[in-house]
Amino acid sequence: MARLEPLAREELEEFEPFFQALEQGMGFVPNSVRTMAHRPELLRAFGAFAGGVLGEGAIDPELKQLVAFVASRAAGCRYCQAHTAHSAHRAGASTERIDAAFDFEASPLFSEAECAALRLARDAALAPSAADESHFSALGEHFSAAEIVEIMGVIAFFGFLNRWNDAMATTLEEEPLAFAREQLASRGWSAGAHAGKG
């Protein structure tokens, strides 16, 4: 059960354009943002940050979501695992690639460039100081400096969301919950504290 109840969308007219953008991209409005709305200044800043990180960029949206998924799985955030797996699928990732994402090192489904990005996502999410020269050397073989910053931005952004949603026990919304139960449960995923009505 969520530790703070999300505010009703009807109470948050100021954020309606942001909510509509979320619905277009994700298919729903996350409970996490309606909880952040208890402090409107935080939600305003979060919305700008989210747009900068997940908006249009040089990195393919599918890879961004797979990076976010691997980072969230490494951090142990079940809420964000469900969201990012669902979003990766919406961005075009096959269920096979989502299923193999955390085992990318042994999977033929990922290019060397994707493996370099996913390796940084896994290791930096586990412990930021685990990211070393080898990670950035491998990334530099495939990505420009701006693209590396974009990938790192996704990892850091989800570091915030992983901590927010696990500490708040944010209730998962129906769409990502159903997707995760169908696609991730065989890999040990469960909703845990994020189950229930939001």
pLDDT band at 150 (very low <50, low <70, confident <90, very high): very high
Q: Is residue 156 part of a domain?
A: yes
Q: Provide the residue range defining the domain that includes 124.
A: 60-194
Residue with tokens 């070393």: 132
Confirm if 67 and 117 have CB atoms less than 8 A apart: yes
Q: Residue 83: pLDDT above 50?
A: yes
Q: Total domain count for the chain?
A: 1
Question: How would you class 179 by CB atoms within 10 Å of its CB: exposed for 0-12, middle for 13-18, buried for 19 or more?
Answer: buried
pLDDT tens-digit profile of 108-136?
Answer: 999 999 999 999 999 999 999 999 999 99
pLDDT tens-digit profile of 4-51?
Answer: 999 999 999 999 999 999 999 999 999 999 999 999 999 999 999 999
Q: Residue 197: pLDDT above 70?
A: no
Q: Is residue 114 part of a domain?
A: yes
Q: Count how many residues are written for the chain.
A: 198
Confirm if 45 and 15 have CB atoms less than 8 A apart: no
Q: Is residue 96 part of a domain?
A: yes
CATH code for the domain in which residue 94 is found: 1.20.1290.10
| pLDDT of 198 | 41
The radius of gyration computed from the CA coordinates of the chain, to the nearest angstrom, equals 16
User: Mean pLDDT over residues 60-79, rounded?
Assistant: 97
What single DSSP character describes residue 6? P
Q: Is residue 140 part of a domain?
A: yes
Q: Is residue 105 part of a domain?
A: yes
Q: Is residue 165 part of a domain?
A: yes
| pLDDT of 1 | 82
